[in-house]
Chains A and B, each alone.
Chain A
């Protein structure tokens, strides 16, 4: 079953921050890891990942390091303390949302 685009859109920042909490990653690696962890339920249009990463970088939630890999320049992102704080907030927000949704639709 495919997840609605709108539903995914609202949680991409949380997903990206969660991925980067585990380890520093470059864009393609992040997309692949996200697909694996969600059993291909979360598949983003890959071009949309970079504006999200750049926004997080601009706001100081992630930092990027350039290096050379496979003969190409590669930008690897890692989470900052500010990013960790945002992730905690997003997780708390998500828990509240999920709990409320479950109560409304009668799962709990």
Chain B
């Protein structure tokens, strides 16, 4: 990396003060390169294109001189062999341009259409208590989400690099504020942002926290090596703090998704260390046992899960009512479902369990088709991420794709009673403005990286 960094710095210095490096690329060669550059649109690629073309032409000059040509003749021959500079620039513009992930966008349109259509069908049901406002609000929030998506797409993702700590602290501060000033609705804490806007920060926070940790760690790696260990431990400590909030708030879904994401991040960036994993598992056991000992609610939830999982029992009512009904609805759906006339009576269905509603209405076949579309969506995301050379960008894309996949996998494992989780929903499928905006942020960030993939210089060096 050293040589290239020096070279880039040298070229940058040249531009700043019109200095001597420019003079190294002289006369005819320089004129040719400038003509190419003047027509290449991806300005950040200039230093690398310049270096490569210069090396090529200078190699030709050296050979011509070895064969007995004068310097002027050798340079003229080098330029002549290169062909038309504007044609080279035109061809380079075909490569170094914005890349639009059309297939992903098409799949997203399909997914969002399924989401809006499901909401519409849900409201058509005979016993719907919510009138025709849900679909309208859902589409309205999708519209706001689209604006958010476009704004995130427009901001160069590399500007996020030094914002990791800020994102972490902002989310943690919002969690504290929610604890202090928030209001409880059905056991969930909402923070009032004013203008009649309430956010469920605890369910929205895992992705920004994981993103903040990733960005902060990447920044630490780039900055220094002297106090790297100390900074890593600091980061490790801070990464534990949200778990305390989630446990206190009994946010099982958030705990699962955040901790799974955390383990994946550690295994990649903090390198797997048995000592750290031991500490992590130890903390998990202590936290889990104290939670189990302190909460009747959790004990009842676990018993309910075991009854379904082990004894295939019936619902017992009380705290586990939603939990029991959800599993019963899944079992009763059958291959073809109950169609549009039968209604599913489960609280918060539209905000937590629209996937279940689809399965109940269109059967297991409908559920499998839904999973197929989602699998395709995530598969395309991973494939696009693999084509990105910029490490930070590729990391962000993989984080976004993994977060989407984790969310869906945990929800499905909960729904099928493999793990004791309830609700959470598939990305973008359920009602809820905050959730829609978060998913649009995740997808906007993902597309942002892909769009710029061929306009950003990436250098791998032997030294």
Give the distance in Å from the alpha carbon of A27 to the alpha carbon of B60 in the complex: 11
- Chain A 42-85 near chain B by CB (<8 Å), digits 1 or 0: 00011110110011011110011111111011110000000000
CA distance A46 to B114 in the complex (A): 51
B52 in the interface (beta carbon within 8 A):
yes
CB-based contact B461/A67 at 8 Å: yes
Quick check: B52 and A67 within 8 Å, CB to CB?
Answer: no
The answer to whether A46 touches B81, judged by C-beta atoms less than 8 angstroms apart, is: yes
Of the listed residues A28, A47, A54, A67, the one surrounded by the most CB atoms of chain B closer than 10 A to its CB is: A47
Given contacts A63-B460, A65-B460, A66-B3, contact A74 B87 (CB under 8 A): no
Picked from B51, B96, B459, the residue with its CB within 8 Å of the CB of A54 is B96
Inside 8 A of B84's CB, which chain A residues have their CB? 45, 47
Q: Answer whether residue B325 sits at the interface, using C-beta atoms and an 8 A cutoff.
A: no
Closest A-chain residue to B10, C-beta based? A73
Distance to closest chain B CB from A48 (angstroms)? 6
Q: Give the nearest-CB partner of B88 in chain A.
A: A47
| Separation of A54 and B54 alpha carbons in the complex (Å) | 16
Is B138 on the interface with A (CB-CB < 8 A)? no
In the complex, what's the smallest C-beta–C-beta distance from B120 to chain A, in angstroms? 41
Whether A51 contacts B91 by the Cβ 8 Å rule is yes
B83 and A48 form a contact (CB under 8 A): yes
B87 with A48: CB separation less than 8 A: yes
- Mostly, the A contact residues are mixed
B51-67 contact mask (Cβ, 8 Å, vs A): 1 or 0: 11111101110100000
Q: Judge if B462 is at the interface, Cβ distance under 8 Å.
A: yes
CB-based contact A50/B55 at 8 Å: no
* Interfacial chain A residues near B92, Cβ < 8 Å: 50-51, 54
Q: Is the CB of A64 within 8 A of B460?
A: yes
The one of B7, B87, B95 that contacts A55, using a Cβ cutoff of 8 Å: B95
Q: Which residue of chain B has its CB nearest to the CB of A64?
A: B460
Given contacts A46-B81, A47-B87, A65-B460, are A73 and B96 in contact (CB under 8 A)? no
B55 in complex: contacting residue of A57, A60, A65, A73, CB < 8 Å: A73
Quick check: A72 and B463 within 8 Å, CB to CB?
A: no
In the complex, per-residue mask of B446-463: 1 if CB is within 8 Å of any chain A CB, else 0: 000000011000011111
Chain A: number of interface residues, binned into ranges: 20 to 34
Chain B, range 30-50, C-beta contacts under 8 Å to A: 36, 48-49
Q: Are B386's CB and A60's CB within 8 A?
A: yes
B55 near A51: Cβ-Cβ < 8 Å: no
Nearest B residue (CB) for A59: B387
CA distance A81 to B87 in the complex (A): 30
Contacts of B462 in A (CB 8 A): 65-67
Question: Known: A28-B55, A58-B454, A66-B4. Is A47-B461 also a contact (CB below 8 A)?
Answer: no
Given contacts A27-B52, A27-B56, A60-B386, contact A47 B3 (CB under 8 A): no
Q: A51-B88, A51-B92, A73-B3 are in contact. Are A46 and B463 (CB under 8 A)?
A: no
Task: State whether A73 touches B4 (Cβ < 8 A).
Answer: yes
| Closest chain A residue, CB of each to CB of B48 | A75
Cβ of A96 to closest chain B Cβ, rounded Å:
27
B453 touches A73 (CB 8 A): no
> Known: A45-B84, A47-B88, A70-B62. Contact between A26 and B95, CB under 8 A?
no
- Measured between beta carbons, the chain A residues less than 8 angstroms from B81 are 45-46
Q: Is the CB of B83 within 8 A of A67?
A: no
Which residues of the other chain, A, contact B87 by a CB distance below 8 angstroms? Answer: 45, 47-48
Q: Which residue of B lies closest to A58 (CB)?
A: B454
Alpha-carbon gap, A23 to B36, bound state (A):
29
- Neighbouring B residues of A48 by C-beta, 8 Å: 83, 87-88, 91
Q: Smallest distance from the beta carbon of B418 to chain A beta carbons, Å?
A: 36
- Select one of B58, B82, B387 contacting A72, CB under 8 A: B58
Residues of A within 8 A of B96 (CB): 54
Cα A50 to Cα B87 with chains together (Å): 11
List, in ascending order, chain B residues with CB within 8 A of A47's CB: 36, 53, 82-85, 87-88
**Residues of B with C-beta under 8 A to A72:** 51, 54-55, 58
CB–CB B82/A75 < 8 A: no
Provide the residues of chain B in CB contact with A28, threshold 8 Å: 55-56, 59-60
27 CB < 8 A contacts A-B:
A28-B56, A28-B60, A45-B81, A45-B83, A45-B87, A46-B56, A46-B82, A46-B83, A47-B84, A50-B52, A50-B56, A51-B91, A54-B95, A54-B96, A55-B94, A66-B462, A67-B462, A69-B55, A72-B51, A72-B55, A72-B58, A73-B4, A73-B7, A73-B51, A75-B48, A75-B51, A75-B55
> What residues make up the interface of B, taking CB atoms closer than 8 Å to A?
3-4, 7, 36, 48-49, 51-56, 58-60, 62, 81-85, 87-88, 91-92, 94-96, 386-387, 389, 453-454, 459-463
Q: Which 4 A-B pairs have the closest CB atoms?
A: A45-B83, A51-B91, A47-B88, A28-B59
